[in-house]
Structure 1
Amino acid sequence: MKVAIVSNPRHRAGDMIEYLLLRAVHTFNKFVPADLLIVEGELGEPEEGFLKDLFLSVERRRLPLAPLWLVRQEGAALPEAPEQVDVNGVPESPAALVERIRLAAGGLPDFCRAPFEAVLADVGADGSIRAERVPMAVEKLPGVTDFHVHTRMAYCCENMDIPKALRMAELSNIETVAFIEHSGQLYFDVDDYWAGRYVWKTRGKADGCPAVCRMPGYEETIREGRRSGAFLNGFELDVDRNGDIILDEPDRRFAQVRLGAYHHMAEKYDAHIASRQFLFCTEALLKYGVHILAHPFRIFPWSGMAKPKELYEPVAELLRRCGVAAEVNFHQNDPEPEFFEICLKKGVKIALGSDSHNLYEVGFFLPHFRFLAELGVTGRLDEVLYRFPEQAR
């Protein structure tokens, strides 16, 4: 049985601990799966609304593993902990389980200090306990950039705020952030975008989607954000079924960083046609001049289809020829090791993107670095990671 413990969060106003706690919840639900997650010790100074985003995210994502709270503090409305939990078929009080793990691990790290470590304990049926520390911030390395962070203008935004996102990047040991936005969401209303009608119909035409103009709001969001620090900005560019990029030419001036993404498939019912359409639209994005291909094959499982492995080689070759990086992205996505191995053999650079729609995601590169370790490139990140042209000077 695997038990994760977050000890002594000790929140203080404005310290972002609530989002690091939320990061831990997602980590032990998906990336380092646990059977039980316990938050214990000193909670700190709960503000009004403290942990609101945590509870909303657990509910929104329908996470099966919610925290068990062994903290009691005035002003903190938390669920009551059960008197006992099942530990390998034996009932035990959560407090006693925590103490057993604390003793076996030689103590529990305070979660309120970098690198914001939790403990994951493998509790055996024979009473044995093996514990490891799981940090919520990666090791600080020069030049590491999160190239895929959304803003409040995204229809899919949960709680994004540029000043807070910059602070989360700093706490996560991320040197640079690129704030980007879905171009289609700046030109189409929410219903037309999510229904994928923008792929089929021409904006502003009598028989097409009505025109909307959210670009000024995005530009103002970026201007306001610059008061809080330096960052890159640009677009996650959508493409229609004709291979036309959803970005008006006058707005290209604001496209400092350009990610290319295929979000809505026009043909979902024939795998062969779907693959041809994907390749056609991907090539259109690359030839347009994107820097990074975002979540390359995610559209297939999102459309109820298997990822077409026969396209790994041709897409990697297109990336090589066009000088475009491939993005490692874990946002509702599982990157394909085989595809990225082909990219690395061809010299295609790897870009890291959190695809943040929630503040806890900004700079959350624990899964990315584990993926890079599995690819065997941890020792040569300077060689394989993508650097934006201005960073490479």
Structure 2
Amino acid sequence: MVRQFFILSAGILLFPFVFLLYILIGRKKKLWIFGSWRGQKYSDNSKALFEYVLQNEKDIKAVWITKNKTVYHELKSKQFPVVMNHSPKAVYYMLRAGFSTGSLSATTDTFGSKWFLAYKITCLYLTHGMPSKYAGYDEPKLAHKKKLITEKKSIGLKLYFSVFPQKNPRNLYSVSTSDFFVPFLESALLIPSNRIFVTGTPRLDTLFSTKKNDYITDIRKKFPTAKIIIYMPTFRASFDGGPSFKPFGQFGFNAEKFIRILEKHDYVFLNKGHFWDGRLSEREFSERFINVIDNPLLDVYDLIKDTDILMTDYSSIYFDFLPLLKPVILTPFDFDSYTQNYRGQYYDYRQELPSIKAFNWNEVCDILEKKSYFPLTEAQTLKYHKYIDGNSSARLTEEIRKILSI
């Protein structure tokens, strides 16, 4: 709280200087800055859009801003334009850029604590995924703030947004994979529906790449006929400092039975915890049970495109996987407690999502034994994806050019 007060105070004190610079030098519409996961990772939608712009939009100067030295050195080795968030060069780009985007925030991923330098920049929030669970301003802890913004009665908030317009969600842009999600995104983000572009999300372009993932290729060399399952549940209390989700210590998990099924029916199980939870299991129960360790450079979309089956619960990865037209096993093991204690749902999860569901590990085992999983049809998938191709970044870049008038 003290740190937030200090940053806000510094922003207010420095704002006249930032405003003067804006008046004197303005912003360059063809200078775009990118970041991801609060400056700590090189991944997600912003990574995909950044690389697309570098390769295809030669008149645009794209720069990645990071707080992570591993990311910095990796991008430097590839000769990608990258700067550390605290450097003078980063501050220069923050003051001059005409466009900023990120995957967890339109400004935090790039500006970090220096968000007050973002005066009059055009910001697009790429989002981390399409919602099924309540997100953003629909979370109970933000209900009061949502009311203040939507009712427009707070003089203090009006003054704050007039000084820092980039903090007003009404001034942002965002992206969706289909019209189905637009009202939920508008509710969660408070971004007007006419500012939400139905272009598809950039990271989904990776799904249509013919390049094979080295990690999966190595697994297939060892298990050439196996079906590879990737398990990616969402976080629970860990986001707010609570305990990590531990699915293998409950819900009827029997390691001996599970491994026996993997071996008998030729599966390999990749266990990938959410970023906030880290590793879901400290054990690898057999060579067919593999923990995928998170790191700042891990691109899960490059990983999932070469797997055969997805297992998840309430994660947006469900929708991202659908264009592959491969099977999904939904695992809402704790549905009642999750919806009551963590996140409500925008729609009836159990009725809306047509994939097969398992409510405990015994049911998972039964599905794997009987091979009763199935992919959605293309017609079903089109409800959640207006486009099933690899051109989302191109469509979105065209929209960005329109709003910037370049």
Report the TM-score range of the alignment, normalised by the length of the smaller protein.
Answer: under 0.3
Of Structure 1 and Structure 2, the greater helix share is in: 2
Q: TM-score, normalised by structure 1?
A: 0.25
Give TM-score scaled by structure 2 length: 0.25
